[in-house]
Chain A
Amino acid sequence: LAKTTQPISMDSYEGQEVNITCSHNNIATNDYITWYQQFPSQGPRFIIQGYKTKVTNEVASLFIPADRKSSTLSLPRVSLSDTAVYYCLVGVKTGANNLFFGTGTRLTVIP
């Protein structure tokens, strides 16, 4: 079963760009990579999803290299309100259609 690996935590100052990398060595051919954001006492919220190369929306960018064994979530110019846990999710079809959230990366934005 594919698993994801992320840094446990990261700190950043306000206004900086933050890059969070997720490793998913066993990603399957048809799997997409999805990132979620979770604030304390709330459920996760979808941020971005991609399959290969680069995806950008109003919130973030997602960079996926050609081998797709990793992905990088990029948050431009973070603010204090971006302090949250960020989860990398890779869907794996194993017959049971299991979903595995990564361990999550706790991002703390410092004033």
Chain B
Amino acid sequence: DTAVSQTPKYLVTQMGNDKSIKCEQNLGHDTMYWYKQDSKKFLKIMFSYNNKELIINETVPNRFSPKSPDKAHLNLHINSLELGDSAVYFCASSPGYLHSSTDTQYFGPGTRLTVL
């Protein structure tokens, strides 16, 4: 009965490959997010979706494309992987319709991506 789940937990791949990370939440939340945590542990928001619509799109390369088939899922597809993409990617969700600073976010366990 995991609230926010991600697959895979670990992903090791070669430069130039295309990969996807899946995220699902069973909390009935309206908003989902993708964060990137680099080796220095900075946690930076990448995308936010509300009811399948993109709300936040931070300055990330367009090689990263989020896809939300329904409001319980937010997948992250990455094209032409680069060494600098190596990081831990966290999915999160929150109840709010329009994100506000009062929303509590629930994070998934993370996906550690290693690009060789």
Q: Are B109 and A91 in contact, with the CB atoms below 8 A?
A: no
Q: Is the CB of A34 within 8 A of B101?
A: yes
Give the number of residues in B that approach A within 8 Å (Cβ atoms): 26
Contacting pair B101 A42 (CB below 8 A): no
Number of A-B contacts (CB under 8 A): 66
A 72-111 to B, binary, CB cutoff 8 A, 1 in contact else 0: 0000000000000101011111001111110110000000
Q: How many residues of A contact B (CB 8 A)?
A: 27
Q: B110 touching A97 by the CB < 8 A rule? A: no
Cα A91 to Cα B96 in complex, Å, equals 13
Which residues from chain B contact A34 at a C-beta distance below 8 Å? Answer: 101, 104
| Interface set of A (CB-CB < 8 Å, partner B) | 30-32, 34, 36, 41-46, 49, 85, 87, 89-93, 96-101, 103-104
